[in-house]
Structure 1
């Protein structure tokens, strides 16, 4: 597709993050974006006097092996830019300097000739669109991914280094994003091109007749006919999906009903997707909530460090003010809202969130507690490799009730409790129970006890890469009002990292058998 569109572009600008080996003076590629530009797209300017020969260098204090640079240069032609993108290892040269690559290969995304198509990325802070130049027209983007992640591994470590801070400073100051936080882009090359047909499409609602007004802000060239595919969603269902021929740069598209949540996909006459407008709705009313500050409330409290005064601001009740006309009933969301009301049932069935309301009567308490135990056993029996059970109060009876119930003998069962919460006598009981279990051919249970004031407060279950939070100790779970919730995967990784650190480090914990032996020996 780029071969069909390349005639619309007149120049190519390359932005590259580079590392120079201080000893050999060799240059290495860390990240780059090649942008194709039309005649009327604003060009790059070297930002200020800090830039020399098209480069700016990171602060050098404390850097050992490498210096880091950000380079902006204009490539000789659009054809040459496309060739560099397609064959970077062979043809990446800046100001006569051959740029080397840590990685030996790339994988294209998308794999074929067609690009990723993005809406305007002016306010985007996620994904590929957040690291390429901001363009109101939307973007066509091709990617070359360092699939071996060799560049990432070479320059990014598990602990923050001066080199990482230098890279971070360059990208945050000049590119507007932190590549250390978005490390999936390190080592990659991107070919980015603004929509070649227009700068922007403006759309507004028409109520009589029903439809949408559009206005296409074309580039310098004459208007070229386009196709608008309008998809209107009502809840989870599609109420309209239709293609309209656009032969003028402004007009009205009549629709069978007022659009609710509609998306526009724009195609050229070759039926190539060249732009998208992400799902949006027209605003019919805006509500403002206003409140006035009444006073500062002063209160004095006796603390361990003496008398302390707190000041709390107090405001009047918010008074809503509505501009426009609101709907008393939204049929578009009627069915979806009904499903949302039942979502807690689905979450409970998937073991993602379960609330236990607690009870006062003993029979009901017992029933809830047994149900809660059953749920935990189901969760931990999904482990294929490793299961962590983390609770400061995890006892010998909890080991019997839960750890023993894991049926797969190949699962490593790791338990983390705390000296602060487990008595010396209980620690000896735990050691006895696990030693007896480990003497059998059922796999192995290991318990480590946290030292000193427990760093662990909440309770967690980890099964391989999945994490659950429990609102009470294992031995009380279900007895009183509490819940169990599955943690989102990205947040779960943070929890797993900390648990593994506490578990594996003698600074944080020790084997409970060793602790029990210390007790025995006085």
Structure 2
């Protein structure tokens, strides 16, 4: 017994109570394709033809079927009652006893069939039943059925336009998907080879297959080269050695009997990265043959990202602290060192915007700048948040403010060429995020400096435009007495 997703489009005659089959597809599903809950979809377009007679309906179900539907789907084209199939000279393609023809969505080996089948990146094996006399299509014409309205309805609910593909009206298709869900490929650096990873479907037997890579004719090359590599039972990775770095290739994967499980066409590489090639169909539409971007990143991405993170941390572009409570003291020290490094980059301007910046932070971060010369330091905190600091220390806000005044006065007297100005914003919520701005660079700090490093947080470098905007904004706050007042 197998599970099939059955899609039937019907034209319902409300006068005769007969449901006519317009189109039908059976998809044999692998376990990883089955919906977690029983799937049913039955949208209906009542009186869509404005004749008070005909309705159109889409019926999609997942059902258990014991028979081999590819041999004879006709007994299973049923709903609550029988579905009428208007057939004159019914044919099956391919003939009985033969395997279905192979097609993959996006490849127009068989004109327009791909447009009518469910979207899938997997190879599909197809069996078709059709009427040479096209009686269902003629029935629509004889009853003045608006084909465009049928197309709009099917496009909306199935993503296929039956009006644009009238040859398929009255047809039945049975689809079986390859046991290979996807194949990931990449050019191997330093050596002429292609690395392939087969993504088998859940429940599929990882059998012995052959990967054939065909090198396309490019430029003055007169013949195409083929490279074949066996993938043994149970394996998923293989290295296909080639005579040169791949540039444009076709890929076919076949089992021991020659049955095609998967293929890709016109895969182009720019360096080690796969690039989609555009193909124009007979309808004039552009279709991407290789829609995925894969390459070195597929296997090396973790290592590449790890190196990139290390480089960004060294450049102070992105620094992350994990908030591990067992490393709180260690993280706090590293975080302070990172902040001091940012502050040390200032040559003539330094702005620190932190609503909780109080005496402890002046001692931790500003004292070390006393030996630098000609730096104008601006500190912006928030009156309401300083009141919270005062409450936590069993002090009054005035005590906290006086501590800041005393520190700044003494600092400015001892460091005549390195001056501090402190502004406190008024009103809850004016300042939330924490920023450090020098004359040329700026950073967003994920936590107040009083707690920085204790919990998961990060340092993110600002873009040049963000640095400029924040510099102008914070300075405007300092100049507006309705927004802030100067503590010192």
**TM-score normalized by the length of structure 2:** 0.49
| Greater gyration radius | 2
